[in-house]
């Protein structure tokens, strides 16, 4: 990981910006004096020693006695282990505190999320909660990011069907793609993502890698069924074009709805034939 990547990663874990800059500077050049760290990390001289001592206090840096005092970073593995331990302790404390409140908030039937990362987090959450079937329609870029959760779901014997107009990576379950280059499709279609689990929980949203991306997450079965039916239609059209048999996949995607529909259609055809008068001879 480059120095420029270390800083935002540490900030996301709770370090201040100056603490993150100082630790990243020590990783590149250590041991170093406070002055040297301040210059490299662009931290004012009046603040740099306070920043370094906070890093020492939390175990992320080491102080080396002398004149002048110098500093070195704690090994990254030690820092990660320390952060994991503290994170686990904090989540356990939160879990206990929530239990003591003794109140279960009601979940809305539908809610919106904003931002590319949050949308993917919710999609992963839906995959983790899937019990028997997941339907996905998306682009290779987003499907690739969801692959780890897709593979875990497949190990739980969850059936997964994935559709995309662009060329997909290898995915568990059944996949359907026109095999078009992603860049070419992007010239006239925007990135969208649909994830449906068990005909119950669904996510439908934009995935343009923008802060303005938004999606709707729903527990409404009607929305889940409509989303699944739309993906089923896309797959049916693709199979017609590629002369593939989609019957088995439709049965797994749509469940007994397919059988009930076939029964109704057969009955309607039989009635229509009965009403048609026989053609006379001649």
pLDDT score of 3 = 62
pLDDT score of 71 = 94
Distinct helix (H) and strand (E) counts, the chain: 11, 10
At how many degrees (to 10) do helices 34-41 and 45-58 cross? 100
Nearest to 58 by CA among 82, 40, 22, 93: 82
Nearest to 246 by CA among 258, 261, 264: 258
Contact 114, 120 (CB under 8 A): no
More confident residue, 54 or 86: 54
How does residue 265 score in pLDDT terms, banded at 50, 70 and 90?
very low
Residue ranges matching CATH 1.10.10.10 in the chain: 3-77
Contact 178, 166 (CB under 8 A): yes
pLDDT score of 23 = 93
How much of the chain, in percent, has pLDDT values that exceed 90? Answer: 59
Residue ranges matching CATH 3.30.870.10 in the chain: 110-265
Please give the CATH number for the structural domain made up of 110-265: 3.30.870.10
Which secondary structure element, helix H or strand E, spans residue 231, and what is its range? helix 221-242
Q: In the numeric block, which tokens belong to residue 3?
A: 């120095």
Distance CA(69)–CA(56), nearest Å, equals 13
Query: Top-level CATH class of 3-77?
Result: mainly alpha
Distance CA(7)–CA(21), nearest Å, equals 6
pLDDT digit string (tens) for 103-130? 665 666 889 999 999 999 999 999 999 9
Q: What is the residue-averaged pLDDT of the chain? A: 87
Helix ranges, the chain (H): 3-12, 17-28, 34-41, 45-58, 76-101, 116-129, 140-155, 182-186, 221-242, 247-254, 256-275
How does residue 277 score in pLDDT terms, banded at 50, 70 and 90?
low
Distance CA(246)–CA(226), nearest Å, equals 19
Task: Indicate the pairing of strand 214-218 with strand 201-206.
Answer: antiparallel
The yes-or-no verdict on residue 247 having pLDDT over 80 is yes
The yes-or-no verdict on residue 184 having pLDDT over 90 is no
More confident residue, 14 or 274: 14
């Amino acid at each position: 990981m480059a120095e420029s990547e270390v800083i935002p990663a540490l900030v996301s874990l709770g370090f201040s910006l100056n603490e993150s800059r100082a630790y990243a500077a020590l990783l590149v050049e250590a041991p170093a004096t406070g002055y040297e760290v301040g210059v490299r990390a662009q931290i004012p001289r009046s603040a740099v020693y306070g920043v370094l001592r906070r890093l020492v206090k939390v175990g992320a840096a080491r102080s080396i006695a002398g004149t002048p005092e110098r500093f070195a970073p704690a090994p990254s593995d030690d820092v990660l282990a320390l952060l994991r331990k503290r994170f686990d302790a904090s989540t356990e404390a939160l879990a206990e505190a929530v239990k003591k409140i003794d109140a279960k908030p009601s979940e809305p039937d539908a809610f919106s999320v904003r931002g590319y990362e949050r949308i993917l987090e919710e999609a992963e959450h839906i995959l983790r909660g899937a019990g028997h079937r997941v339907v996905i329609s998306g682009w290779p870029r987003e499907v690739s990011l969801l692959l780890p959760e897709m593979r875990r779901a497949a190990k739980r014997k969850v059936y997964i069907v994935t559709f995309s107009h662009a060329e997909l990576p290898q995915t568990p379950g059944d996949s359907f793609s026109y095999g078009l280059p992603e860049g070419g499709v992007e010239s006239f279609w925007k990135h969208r993502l649909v994830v449906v689990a068990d005909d119950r929980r669904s996510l439908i949203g934009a995935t343009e890698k923008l802060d303005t991306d938004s999606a709707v997450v729903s527990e409404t079965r009607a929305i889940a069924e409509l989303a699944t039916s739309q993906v089923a239609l896309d797959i049916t059209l693709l199979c017609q074009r590629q002369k593939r048999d989609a019957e088995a996949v439709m049965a797994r995607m749509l469940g007994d709805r397919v059988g009930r529909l076939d029964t109704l259609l057969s009955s309607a055809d039989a009635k229509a034939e009965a009403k048609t008068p026989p053609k006379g001879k001649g």
